[in-house]
Amino acid sequence: MYMNSNFLMALLSTPTVSGFEDAGCKIYESYLNGYVDECKRDILGNSYAVLDAPEEFPMVMVEAHIDEIGFQVLYIADDGRIYVRKNGGIDMQCIPGSRVVIYGNSGEVHGVIGKTPVHLQNGQEREKTPELSNLWIDTGLEAEEVKGKVNVGDVVALKQDAEMMGKYRVTSKALDDKIGVYVVAEVMKRLGNERDSLRCKVQGVATVQEEVGCRGALASGYTIMPDVSISIDVDFATDVPGCSKMKYGDIRLGQGVVVACCLDSDMRIVEQLRGIASEKSIPIQYSARPYATGGTNASRIRTIRKGVRTVLLGIPCRYMHTPVEVCDMRDVEAAISLITEYVKSI
């Protein structure tokens, strides 16, 4: 199994909080330099890696969102404590005690998210999920130094500590959805090496601002107007306690890429993928998703103008929207292989 761990770790270690994805897009573009015809941006910041072809060929879009959940500075107290609001849906039960980095004009400021010690809380307070307004960032700096380095609106990301767990599994914050961006990049790289045999135009897009309403997907979809669009995101692994298979299906790490059989997927494409997976011995799983539609970029792209033939693929992920998400690189390789073979078949 091929894995470019340097590229993956570079993506995971680069902050890309929703609305502030520029540094991650630069990593994506640099990696694909020489494999695609060009990389370009739009006004929102979506990054497009382009493989051109004759005008009459169909246009294929392969996308995953590069933004991650995080915070922005809301208020700086007189004593130097920093209060924030969310950019995206963070699991608040996991946030107290986290290490963070504030990115402002004066560079990086490191801190920790503090709260009232558990010993000083009453029973109700201990049982309750904390509210963000009752937590703060402690930088260890004097108040005047904090005010000189940090401004309202500065972006705040969880500190990175990505690592491999065993031979195949990776844990990190922001695997949702940088693992998908890794898939898009590897697909574009492989297609770039076989471009002479392609019979379609392809644009691999690292989309922005998914965690705050799939905003980048809408802009990129209208920009490209694809004939076919493939979205890659993480999907809920249900191979842990408390995830009911009766409610959410049977999705397991290491058992292959997940093909979504919901209203965000064109069932004709699903059947084509099923055939390719069987022919090429690519491991796949199927999910009807917890809801008929929504939750990913695919739902927004699906209904652009007269509609787009879309398909949603998932990388099984444990502990989504926490600092310790876990994915399996065998599922990632299955996604890369399946998408590459499908695009080559168009």
pLDDT band of 104, cuts 50, 70, 90: confident
Average pLDDT across the chain, whole number: 94
d(CA 142, CA 139): 8
- Identify which of 212, 160, 145 has the alpha carbon closest to the alpha carbon of residue 24: 160
- Choose, from 21, 210, 325, 333, the residue flagged as catalytic: 210
CATH number at residue 113: 2.40.30.40
Same structural domain for residues 282 and 338?
yes
Structural domain boundaries enclosing 136: 70-158
Reported as a single tens digit per residue, the pLDDT across 292-323 is 899 999 999 999 999 999 999 999 999 999 99
Is pLDDT above 70 for 339? Answer: yes
Same structural domain for residues 180 and 147?
no
Same structural domain for residues 309 and 322?
yes
Selected residue with higher pLDDT from 115 and 310: 310
Q: What is the mean pLDDT of residues 246-253?
A: 93
Stated pTM of the model? 0.95
Active site residue 163: no
Taking the chain, what is the end-to-end CA distance rounded to the nearest angstrom? Answer: 25
Three-state DSSP at 247 gives helix
Is pLDDT above 60 for 61? Answer: yes
- Which of 127, 158, 189 is the endpoint of a domain? 158
- Identify which of 198, 265, 200, 254 has the alpha carbon closest to the alpha carbon of residue 226: 200
E-strand stretches of 88-236 = 99-104, 107-114, 136-138, 155-158, 163-165, 169-172, 201-207, 228-236
- Which of 158, 187, 202 is the endpoint of a domain? 158
Domain-located, residue 165: no
Q: What is the mean pLDDT of residues 121-145?
A: 84
Tokens of 197: 């045999």
Cis? peptide before 79, omega within 30° of 0: no
